[in-house]
Chain A
Amino acid sequence: MYSEKVMDHFSNPRNVGEIENADGVGEVGNPTCGDMMNIYIKVEDNILTDVKFKTFGCGAAIATSSMITEMAVGKTLEEALDITRNDVAEELGGLPQVKMHCSNLAADGLRAAIEDYRNKQNIKK
């Protein structure tokens, strides 16, 4: 059902955990739907220096979370905001059609984290 790369990210997820004093946190999904994701980011000079996640959900939810942390680190905020759900799925070698909508939340999570960071920056200003 899942590609080799999905299974790799699912069974050896990268960057699991929370970042203490994260610059931004994105929370998407909810347990009722069966998928919920928290993305934590560190930002230095407009660049994502660290991205971590915590996810409740199926194999696809965990794999996409892990994948996006690898895709996002080192990118500028603008570049990171351009990452789409499809980009994550493609990078993973595809996802089953039924999982494309419900479990492919990581891009939304990252965007939410960046928005959270920007909101906090605005408050500081």
Chain B
Amino acid sequence: MKQIYMDHGATTPVDPLVVDAMLPYFTETFGNASSLHSFGQEATSALEQSRQQVAASIGAKPEEIIFTSGGTESDNLAIKGIAYRNSGKGKHIITSTIEHPAILNTCAYLEKEGFDVTYVPADSDGIIDMDELKKAIRDDTILISVMHANNEIGTIQPISDISKLAKEKSIYLHTDAVQSFGKIAVNVDELGVDMLSMSSHKIYGPKGVGALYVRKGTLLQALAHGGSHERSMRAGTENISGIVGFAKAVALADERLVDDAKHMTQLRDSLIEKVMDSIDDVELSGHPTNRLPNNVNLRFSFIEGESMLLFLDMKGIAISTGSACSSKSLEPSHVLTAIGLRPEDSHGSLRITLGKDNTQEEVDYVVDALVEVVGRLRAMSPIAGKMSLK
């Protein structure tokens, strides 16, 4: 059976060129970068080259890159690291209602520790409300953290505008760029951020590695203590093979960025248009154009997402849903709820995240499959045609 992977927001396959780049670092150049002998020095050299590669990609200096185990750790280090180090100045943090759980649950944890967090809402397109953000700023605000692009609806946030507000008040600004990095241009000076989270496995690199950019002069407290790795900001022997793979993935993403973005934008818009043309009672969630090139999030009235997902999986198509019924918590997607969708709308949502290797032929196959699956489930639905879910 034909297999079509369109869940690149969840993870991506590792590029074979990345695997090739990594392989020598398991068996040949296996040294510990902390060792002074030549094995160690080779590892150090690979580590620092990788650091340069990642730094150059986002317009940073190599010493501003801290390698981590991925996006979640980077987010934790940024939020808790600022909170713990700067609590003497204030204990107020601002974030948004549509952040990834790595941010939301870290903030919730800090609330238990006595920090105060304001969650700024987003509008119906999923763009953060700048007026509310402005109003949320207080004298004791030490950090603003707003994601660069949303993982569910792909909406791109006005980070450089937020930066102006943050700079006026000397508040640190962090952005979770896990979904945007490698898909759209990410430059720390243009965005005006003090910290930026990145992940390798979303950009055809290996899992278990990522980085946090930390602007020089940012007062951050380490969370993992031990050796003096990563300028004492993240103790633990460096995952050299993973870091080399991550850096290779970054290099490849940089080379392809413009072409890939153009290709995926075409597929994205084609997919949205064809679905809208061939299926009734469908809405796009998120901003129509100000969204990641690879993100499509549709909601289908009268039917439920897990059922759609299972039927599509039987046809070899891998996508995801914001339906509560597919989540362990049985809560609908917090992002869809935050942009004002009713639970019954969220239940019928599908997220399709394209990749560089998806084709127009695959998009057409997915549209045909959706027509069939949606038709089948609506024929079974007691509410189809009887009530409006709009």
Q: Which residues of A contact B (CB under 8 A)?
A: 2, 7, 10-11, 13, 16, 27, 31-38, 54-59, 61-62, 98, 102-103
Contact flag A55-B380 (CB < 8 Å), given A32-B342, A34-B324, A34-B343 = yes
Asked if B304 is at the interface of the complex by the 8 Å CB criterion, the answer is yes
A17 to chain B, nearest CB (A): 8
Residues of chain A contacted by B387 (CB below 8 angstroms)? 31
> CB of B213 within 8 A of chain A?
no
User: What residues on A are CB-neighbors of B303 within 8 Å?
Assistant: 56
B interface bracket (residues with beta carbon within 8 Å of A): 20 to 34
B101-125, CB < 8 A from A: none
Within 8 A of A (CB), among B293-352: 302-304, 306-307, 310-311, 314, 323-326, 328, 330, 332, 342-344, 347
Q: Are A55 and B382 in contact (CB under 8 A)?
A: yes
Partner of A56, one of B314, B326, B381: B381
| A residues near B302, Cβ cutoff 8 Å | 56
A58-B306 in contact given A31-B389, A33-B343 (Cβ < 8 Å): yes
Interface: B371 (CB within 8 A): no
| Closest residue on chain B to residue A37 by CB atoms | B382
CB-CB < 8 A to B380: which residues of A?
13, 16, 54-56, 62
Chain B residues closer than 8 Å to A10, beta-carbon distance: 307, 310
Min C-beta distance of B340 to chain A, whole Å: 15
With an 8 A cutoff between CB atoms, is B23 at the interface? no
The 10 closest A-B pairs by CB, nearest first: A58-B325, A54-B382, A58-B306, A31-B344, A38-B382, A34-B347, A56-B381, A32-B343, A34-B325, A59-B310
Report the number of A-B residue pairs with Cβ-Cβ less than 8 Å: 72
Instruction: Tell me if B306 and A59 are in contact (CB < 8 A).
Output: yes
**CA A11 – CA B347 in complex, angstroms?**
19
B311 CB contacts on chain A under 8 angstroms: 11
Question: Please, which residues of chain B bring their CB within 8 A of the CB of A102?
Answer: 325, 330
Q: How far is the CA of A32 from the CA of B306 in the complex (A)?
A: 15
CB < 8 Å: which of A38, A54, A57, A98 contacts B307?
A57
Within the assembled complex, what's the spacing in Å between the Cα atoms of A30 and B328? Answer: 20
Shortest CB distance A32–B (Å): 5
B383 part of interface (Cβ distance < 8 Å): yes
**Assembled-state Cα–Cα distance A68/B306 (Å):** 21
Interface pair A56/B343, CB less than 8 Å apart = no
**Which chain B residue has the least Cβ–Cβ distance from A7?**
B310
| Interface SS of A by simple majority | mixed
CB < 8 Å: which of B326, B332, B389 contacts A58? B326
The residues of A that contact B381 with a CB separation of less than 8 Å are 54-56
Q: Are A31 and B347 in contact (CB under 8 A)?
A: yes
Query: CB-CB contacts of B341-378 with A at 8 A, as 1s and 0s?
Result: 01110010000000000000000000000000000000
Taking CB atoms, residues of chain A closer than 8 Å to B324 are: 34
Q: How far is the CB of A31 from chain B (nearest CB, A)?
A: 4
B219 CB–A CB distance under 8 Å: no
Interchain CA distance A73-B303 in the complex, whole Å: 27
Known: A34-B325, A62-B307. A56 touches B330 (CB 8 A): no
Complex Cα distance, B324 from A98, in Å, reads: 11
B389: chain A residues within 8 A (beta carbon): 31
Q: Which one of B332, B382, B383, B384 has the greatest number of beta carbons of chain A within 10 Å?
A: B382
Closest Cβ of chain A to B218, distance in Å, is: 42
Q: Are A98 and B330 in contact (CB-based, < 8 A)?
A: yes
Which B residues, 260 to 276, have Cβ-Cβ distances below 8 Å to chain A? none
Asked if B17 is at the interface of the complex by the 8 Å CB criterion, the answer is no
Q: Which residues of B contact A11 (CB under 8 A)?
A: 310-311, 314
Determine how close the nearest CB of chain B comes to the CB of A4; give it in whole angstroms: 13
A-B contact pairs, 30 of them (CB 8 A): A2-B310, A10-B310, A11-B310, A11-B311, A11-B314, A13-B380, A31-B344, A31-B387, A32-B343, A32-B344, A34-B323, A34-B325, A34-B330, A34-B332, A34-B343, A34-B344, A34-B347, A35-B325, A36-B382, A54-B380, A55-B381, A56-B302, A56-B304, A56-B380, A58-B306, A61-B307, A62-B380, A98-B330, A102-B330, A103-B325
- Note all chain A residues with C-beta closer than 8 A to B307: 10, 57-59, 61-62
- Chain A residues, Cβ within 8 Å of B325: 34-35, 57-58, 61, 102-103
Q: CA–CA, A37 to B380, complex, Å?
A: 10
Contact check: which of A7, A56, A103 meets B382 at CB < 8 Å? A56
Residues of A within 8 A of B383 (CB): 31, 36, 56
Check if B379 is an interface residue, CB within 8 A of chain A.
yes
B325 to chain A, nearest CB (A): 4
Q: A56-B383, A61-B307, A98-B330 are in contact. List 12 more A-B contacts (CB 8 A).
A: A7-B310, A11-B310, A11-B311, A11-B314, A16-B380, A27-B382, A31-B347, A34-B325, A36-B382, A55-B380, A55-B382, A102-B330
From A13, A58, A98, B323 is in contact (CB under 8 Å) with: A58
